[in-house]
Amino acid sequence: MPVLKLDRWNVAIGDGQPLTVIAGLNVLETPELAIETARQLKAICGELGLPYVFKASFDKANRSSIKSYRGPGLDQGLEIFRRVKAEVDVPVATDIHEIAQAEPLAEVIDVLQIPAFLCRQTDLVVASARAIHRAGGWLHVKKGQFLAPWDCKNIVSKVQEAVDGADITILCERGNSFGYNNLVVDMLGIGEMKKLGVPVTIDATHAVQLPGADPRTGGESTGGRREGVAVIAKAAVVSGADGVFLEFHPDPDKALCDAPSCLPLAGAKDLLGTLKALHAVANR
């Protein structure tokens, strides 16, 4: 498996590399919250010796209700990302939803992420791959809840064809639909995706979602099982995941999106320390 590098940031992911941490907020709320969250997580990862990428969404385009908070949008989001990079000095990851967003995002973003529901949208995948490749970044593709792990070979091949065989793809496991309002993670799928010759991460936050099943809103938003995030993250790292994707908030219950799945920022150091130790054991 190739090792992917963000040379400017001295960050790498893949065989023989430390556990990569892609973590931050579910969605951008205020510039101050983004900067402080990035600063705290960078300090923790620096102390633990783990590569760190700050993550947040500028737009949650698939909220359950049209009334739900979606984020500040592309223009304001890019300004916040610029501030985070300038003031905290970290690489940044965010989601893309439309082809026209690829070029402006790639000017600022280091890790461009294809949402799970859009992972088979060929035009979006190709446009994102080409834009982020020109910028020297990575394409982080979440496996659709409807796909078998081995079916991701078509995603990987699309990207490689779009960028003349360059290695820029990371696949992300985030659970499979299991009946109504539920997701499950097949840990054997991590190994299956790694057989495709790309690094694999675990999105433990979204893997504990209960789609459309938040009892607080009568199904107008997605529920979640916060207590399961650490369980899934630990199991995935032991199963071979090269990186973890996690979402934190200083006050999770007040997070403006996916609060039931969000972790308290105060617990980040303990969890990441445990994941580092498990990664070391799994890669002996």
Query: Which positions are catalytic?
Result: 26, 60, 258
Compute the residue count for the chain. Answer: 284
Look at residue 18 and give its three-state secondary structure: coil
Which position has the token pair 């963000």? Answer: 6
Strand partners, 263: 248
Do the bridges between strand 4-6 and strand 11-13 make them parallel or antiparallel, or are there none, so unpaired? antiparallel
Distance CA 226, CA 157 (A): 34
Distance CA 91, CA 117 (A): 25
Helix or strand holding residue 106 (H, E)? helix 102-106
Phi, psi (rounded to 5 degrees) for 229: -60, -50
Quick one: the chain helix, strand, coil %, rounded to 5?
45, 20, 35
Nearest to 226 by CA among 198, 200, 255: 255
Which position has the token pair 């490749």? Answer: 133
Look at residue 126 and give its three-state secondary structure: helix
Q: Check residue 161 and give left, alpha or beta (phi > 0: left; psi -120 to 50: alpha).
A: alpha
Radius of gyration (C-alpha) of the chain in whole angstroms: 17
Look at residue 207 and give its three-state secondary structure: helix
Tokens representing 85? 């990079």
